[in-house]
Amino acid sequence: MMKTLVVDDDYIVRAMLCELLAPYGDCEESPNGLDALKRYKRAYHEGTPYDLIVMDVLMPELSGREVLKKIRNMEYKRGAAMVDEVKVIMISYLGDPEDVVSSFRSGATAYIVKPIDAGVLHMRIKELGLPGGE
């Protein structure tokens, strides 16, 4: 079973993504980057880390890329190998190449353009080798 965190400032997007991800396991929602960081840290310290984070690029307070950089920095400081890093799918209405490249430079493992296509989401989960995506 997979544990997922969906981070988006739009409630409808969060609800839709959690519905799509429900067959894979537990799905939690976060409305912004600061809350997502708190949830990430808590899950790690409780010994129940996320397998997947699906996160919007553009959010108030902390952008998705800023959150991702902080997560990758925490993983680096812990000495986590790449295979142990949480998989992060960045989502955005911005599909321009610069935004996509910037997301991957920040540590994204995949990128999906909104509106989310369920088939594309399921394909990314399978490509990332996540539980339930076989």
Residue 62 DSSP one-character state:
S
Q: Can you give the length of the chain in residues?
A: 134
| Helices and strands in the chain, H and E counts | 5, 5
**pLDDT score for 83:** 66
Residue 10: which region, alpha, beta or left (left: phi > 0; alpha: psi -120 to 50)? beta
pLDDT beyond 90 at 69: yes
**pLDDT score for 109:** 96
pLDDT band, very low/low/confident/very high, at 132 (cuts 50, 70, 90): confident
**Cis amide leading into 115 (omega within 30):** yes
pLDDT band, very low/low/confident/very high, at 134 (cuts 50, 70, 90): low
State pLDDT tens for residues 19-52: 999 999 999 999 999 999 999 999 999 999 999 9
pTM score, two decimals? 0.95
Is 16 within 8 Å of 51 (Cβ atoms)? no
**Domains with residue ranges and CATH for the chain:** 2-127 (3.40.50.2300)
Q: Which residues of 66-86 are buried (b: 16+ CB within 10 A; e: fewer)?
A: ebbebbbeebeeeeeeeeeeb
Percent of the chain with pLDDT over 90: 86
Give, for 123, the enclosing helix (H) or strand (E): helix 118-127
pLDDT beyond 90 at 65: yes
Separation between Cα atoms, residue 25 and residue 103, nearest integer Å:
26
Q: Which amino acid, residue 122?
A: H
- Among 51, 69, 70, 71, smallest CA distance to 105 is for 69
**pLDDT score for 79:** 86
State pLDDT tens for residues 82-107: 668 999 999 999 888 888 999 999 99
**What is the rounded average pLDDT for all residues in the chain?**
94
